[in-house]
Amino acid sequence: MNKIRIAVLVSGGGTNLQALLDAEKSGVLKSGEITLVISNKPGAYALERAAKAGVKTAVITKKECVSQSEFEARIRNTLEENGIDLIILAGFMCILSADFTRRYDKRILNVHPSLIPSFCGEGFYGLRVHEAALAYGVKVTGATVHLVNEIPDGGKIRMQKAVEISEDDTPETLQKKVMKEAEWVILPRSVELICKKIKEEEK
């Protein structure tokens, strides 16, 4: 049976995208293939990573659209044109409306750099997540891969991995640690699991 066609939506550096591309190469991700990368930022380094791996890219910015619904319609068209079955949000810095998420029910995954339900939801992105964890004084944080619904970081949890915080961690060191020890590990694994599941359901 054919592989699940995956689109990765990005806005920045794309280290999680890289983890997925590497997982495809190493065979950790074998039930799906990354066939498209969409960025809302023209200069995102993630686009270069995709190009280097020979993956098709598209840039869709909010600026060129008159409304959120036009922005989402453009994304949807691009996904449809490319026969996409599964969407991965990997550092995609835009919130998608309920209209969008309902159309792709159980077909959108996001990776968030904390153990949900801590330090998540609107306003918790990038370094802010790690600043909040350090300010609260938690001793363990981590990453979560979850399904995406209309509530920011509110969809069903698919996988989590904990990371210990040390006394001398800064938001920057913690961000790196969470990526390396958790995000880059659980994202490829959960993508493989969901691809397998979709294939089973389609049998």
Active-site residue list: 112
The CA distance from 192 to 82, in Å, is 20
Spell 116-138 as b/e; 16+ CB within 10 A means b. Answer: bebbbeeebbeeebbbbbbeeee
Q: Which of 8, 15, 120, 163 binds ligand GRF (CB under 6 A)?
A: 15
Q: Which of 183, 186, 190, 195 binds ligand GRF (CB under 6 A)?
A: 183
Binding of ligand GRF by 90 (CB under 6 A)? yes
Cβ-based neighbour number of residue 54 at 10 Å: 8
Stretch that binds ligand GRF, among 9-17, 64-72, 149-157, 165-173 (CB under 6 A): 9-17
Q: How far is the CB of 185 from ligand GRF (least distance, A)?
A: 12
Binding of ligand GRF by 14 (CB under 6 A)? yes
- Paired strand residues for 88: 8, 109
Length of the chain: 203
Binding characters for ligand GRF, 28-67, by CB under 6 A (x = yes): ------------------x---------------------
Q: In what order do the strands lie in the sheet with 56-59?
A: 56-59, 32-39, 4-10, 86-89, 108-112, 140-147, 157-164
Number of residues that bind ligand GRF (CB under 6 A): 14
Residue type for 157, please?
A: I
Q: How far is the CB of 129 from ligand GRF (least distance, A)?
A: 8
| DSSP-assigned letters across all residues of 140-154 | EEEEEEEE--SSTT-
Q: Which of 5, 13, 33, 118 binds ligand GRF (CB under 6 A)?
A: 13
Q: Which of 6, 7, 8, 12 binds ligand GRF (CB under 6 A)?
A: 12
Task: Give the residue with the Cβ less far from ligand GRF, 28 or 73.
Answer: 28
DSSP annotation of 166 reads P
Binding of ligand GRF by 112 (CB under 6 A)? yes
Q: For binding to ligand GRF (CB under 6 A), which residues are involved? A: 10, 12-16, 46, 90-91, 111-113, 179, 183
